[in-house]
Amino acid sequence: MTEQEFNILYELHRAGNAAAEELAEKTGYEVAAVHDVLSKLKEQGMVDSGLTEKGEEALRPYKVDNAIIMAAGSGLRGLPLTRYVPKGLFVVKGEVLIERQIEQLIAAGIHEIIVVVGYLKEKFYYLKEKYGVIIVENDDYYRYNNMSSLYAAKDYIKRSFVCCSDNYFAENVFRDYVYDSYYACQYSKGYADEYFVTKMNGDYIAEIVKGGEDGWYTIGEAFFSESFSKLFVKYMLEEYDKDNAKNLIMDDFHIKHIDELHFRLYKYPDDLMKEFDSLDDVEKFDSAFVDWKDKVMAEAEPKEVAPIFEKYDNVERYNSATTNQMYGRLHLNENSFGPSEKCLDVLKTITREDLCTYDMASRDFLLDALAKHFSMPEDDIFIHDGSSEILKSVFAITLERGETVLLPNPGWNYYASLVREHFCSFETYGVLADDYTYSVDMKDLLEKAKKLTPRIIVITSPHNPTGCKMRGKEVEFIVKNNPNSLILLDEAYWGYAEEETDVRRLVECYNNIIISRTFSKYYGLANMRIGFGFCNSSIRHIFGLDLPLFRVNPISRKMAVAALSDKEYYEKITEEICSIREWFIDSLNRLPHVTAFRSCANFIAARFDGIRTQALKECLAKEGILIRLFQDGDAMLTRITISDRATMEKAFAIIKKFVETNKKG
């Protein structure tokens, strides 16, 4: 039977009877073509005034046997919610995801539905009584990929829909008769880390690659025809243990056998199917999901904590903003220009010894390079796994329960989190806005330092989130006048403004200051996790008590040395970043109701008076631009990382349009 004949017979099966014009509308065929097919079908006795018994018999080989819904996964990207509720049981737009899918299948005439469960499997058992589904348990869900779920359901794989429990179909895509095997696909203009169809052989997919853009990628349900299923199961049984097929996801198994396992490409419009990779994805799709999530989390019974850990009951870990997005990330203060090519060249020189042996050499080559680059004695330098880890170590070594820390306000919430982890308290000093600049309120800082004698005074320069910078003389004044406090100078954003602090003088003259820097920002090596800093040699061994037992891994350290050697590259991109920063600030300040503040970092702070800042953030996010918000008194401000010119122009255009159309009142 041809596909045209099948589609027309199927529409007659659904409608009982329909004119050629109506069939043309439903199938997308020309009316003349429908007339021709109907004539042939009538000659064969399949169609009369409607579908005949012979026509029904002709459709029977195309009848869908069942649907297999994979619901065994642990949904790690849905944490912490998936500790209590599997993704398939999320309530989205007022409906449980898997229930919506089951009801769509039943409405389409598919009544044998197999649900493969594993993680929190008991929570799915009610579906058996409510819908009559068949529950199949995958006991290997936690160690193998979703091929293990198909293996568990192997006896049911026939003419089958294969679905994921957490997909949301805006319309019912299921049918009780299907012509041939297919894989649903959606189109992506920009880059996506999905399985993209790159070649076709007639109607069938001939090549799929991971990651791509401007093309169709597989998503949603697949349909296995009878011949497809027989071959799929044959290969799966042969290779499950022998060739480790159990460790594959279905897409990779299909790619392995793509020359024999033939899927058609079934194109879906963008708004037909949603796949939720994270909680943020669900919240963007359904704002009410937040309330349901919060209710579930509030009602979830926490597991009993061992008595030795009860002191941490009310202490929460600081978490950075998460995203699966790789572009438009203006909320993490990364250096989007990336590191020097010399850093990448390091990867070509990596040896087995770099991976399997501890670096026990008498001298640390990165320490040597830092000493030479910054003209500092080696005894005044330390290295750690990122500047956030330096801060953590400083707090751990310095603080005792009940002590006080003085923090900037506004400031990075990580500082306060570290204070609470050590059962201490904090007070804040002001960082104040004045026209187009922020600055530290020195009077407030000094008065509170004198009153409190805090164990640690944290100074961030350039300051996060405002971008302002302290002069070296101001820093030294604070250090000199607070000999009983440790001054923690966090210079994570060092390098984007003229150097005004004589670091060597500070650490040689004073033993109550520690300066933290990083290779993450200026040098563009955020994922290599290398922090370094300076302090007087007399206290270096004390902070060394909480440094890693073994040195930061040699690959990261070799990249850091390479970065230090390419001064020309970093001066060039820094000049470009600063130029874009000044253009962006000036452009924003020409908009009504907007104040963009001068910055010495690779980000800027901006205030939007009378404009819904959260709505602006959401508007930018819809266009692929992510920003951060922070509270300053009663005002909610934005913090926006400076990226390449094209990205910043896109961000500015969105902001400009939003400001022009969303002024409150």
Residues 6+ apart with CB under 8 A from 351: none
Q: Are 306 and 603 in contact (CB under 8 A)?
A: no
Q: Taking 60 as the threshold, does the pLDDT of residue 575 lie above it?
A: yes
Q: Which of 29-33, 118-122, 150-154, 532-536 has the lowest mean pLDDT?
A: 29-33
Tell me the residue length of the chain: 665
- 436-462: pLDDT as tens digits: 999 999 999 999 999 999 999 999 999
Give the residue-averaged pLDDT of 331-345.
96
Average the pLDDT over 485-505 and give the result. Answer: 93
Over range 337-356, report the average pLDDT. Answer: 94
In degrees rounded to 5, what are phi and psi of residue 603?
-150, 165
Residue 548 — very low, low, confident or very high, per pLDDT cuts 50/70/90?
Answer: confident
What value does the mean pLDDT take over residues 644-650?
97
Average pLDDT estimate for 265-294:
92
pLDDT value at position 310? 77
Q: Which of 74-78, 163-167, 441-445 bottoms out in mean pLDDT, i.e. has the lowest?
A: 74-78
**Residue 19, token pair as written in the block:** 């004119």
Q: How confident is the model at residue 320 (pLDDT cuts 50, 70, 90)?
A: confident
Q: Is the pLDDT of residue 313 over 80?
A: no
Cβ-based neighbour number of residue 315 at 10 Å = 12
The residue ranking higher by pLDDT, 412 or 27, is 412
What average pLDDT score do residues 634-662 get?
95
Q: For residues 488 and 470, give the distance between their C-alpha atoms in angstroms, rounded to a whole number.
A: 13
How large is the average pLDDT for residues 416-437?
Answer: 95
Helix axes 442-452, 472-481, angle to 10 degrees: 20
Nearest to 186 by CA among 168, 201, 161: 168
Interval 251-263 mean pLDDT: 96
Per-residue pLDDT band at 301 (split at 50, 70, 90):
low
Structure tokens at 573: 């991109």
3-state secondary structure of 230: helix
CA–CA distance, 533 with 650 (Å, rounded to integer): 36
Position 302 confidence tier, pLDDT thresholds 50, 70, 90: low
Q: Is 90 exceeded by the pLDDT of residue 307?
A: no
pLDDT on residue 664 = 55
Highest mean pLDDT (candidates 42-56, 72-86, 588-602): 588-602
Specify the pairing of strand 95-96 against strand 273-275: unpaired
pLDDT at 125: 97
For the segment 131-154, the average pLDDT, to the nearest whole number, is 95
How much is the pLDDT for 544?
A: 86
Question: Strand locations in 443-530, DSSP E?
Answer: 456-460, 486-490, 513-518
615-642, pLDDT tens digit by residue? 999 999 999 999 999 999 989 999 999 9
Any idea which residue has 């007339």 for tokens?
35
Range in 192-201, 311-320, 369-378 the model is least confident about: 311-320
- Tell me the pLDDT band of 204, cut-offs 50, 70 and 90: very high
Average confidence score pLDDT of the chain? 93
